[in-house]
Amino acid sequence: MTGPRVTGLIALCDVDDDQPSSTRVYRFRVSELAQLASGDLVLLRDDLGWTTEFIGEDGPPELNDVLSTVEIVVLPDEDDPGCEPHPWEWLVYLATRRGLSVTADELKEGPYGIYLSARVVELCT
C-alpha cells in the first residue's frame, strides 16, 4: 500500500478538558501523531495520560516533570518483557489503518518531538 509518507512522530500533551478548575488534581492527556511530508498531522492514538494530585504547599507540576512523564506514558508497560522500548510496530499498524505509509525502521530513525499545549505551559508557569 502506498500512501502519504510519515516523516516523524509527535507526542502532544494537553490538560484534560474535564479538568476541574477548583481542585489540586491535574489531569493530562497525551496523543501521538504522525507528521507527514506535507506538514499535516494525523492522529494515531489519544488514549494516554495521567493524573497528579498536589497536597499542602505543592504547586502545579513543573514543565520538566511534565515532559519526563510524557516520555514515560508513551512507552509500553515495563511488566511486558517482550516489548520494544517504544511500540513502533503498533504505531505502524495505526498509521497504515489511516492510509499512511511507514515502516518501523523509518519511525525509529525519524524525529520524535514532544509538544506541550499552551494550556499546559500556562498551568506550569
Whether the predicted pLDDT of 10 surpasses 90: yes
Kindly state whether residue 62 falls inside one of the protein's structural domains: yes
Q: What is the model's pLDDT at position 80? A: 56
Kindly state whether residue 1 falls inside one of the protein's structural domains: no
Task: Render pLDDT for 39-87 as a digit per residue (tens, 0 to 9).
Answer: 999 999 999 999 888 766 667 788 899 999 999 888 866 655 555 667 8
- On the CB side of 110, how many CA atoms lie within 13 Å of its CA? 21
Kindly state whether residue 52 falls inside one of the protein's structural domains: yes
Nearest to 104 by CA among 115, 112, 93: 93
* Boundaries of domain holding 119: 6-124
Contact present, 5 and 37 (Cβ < 8 Å) = yes
pTM score: 0.82
Number of domain units in the chain: 1
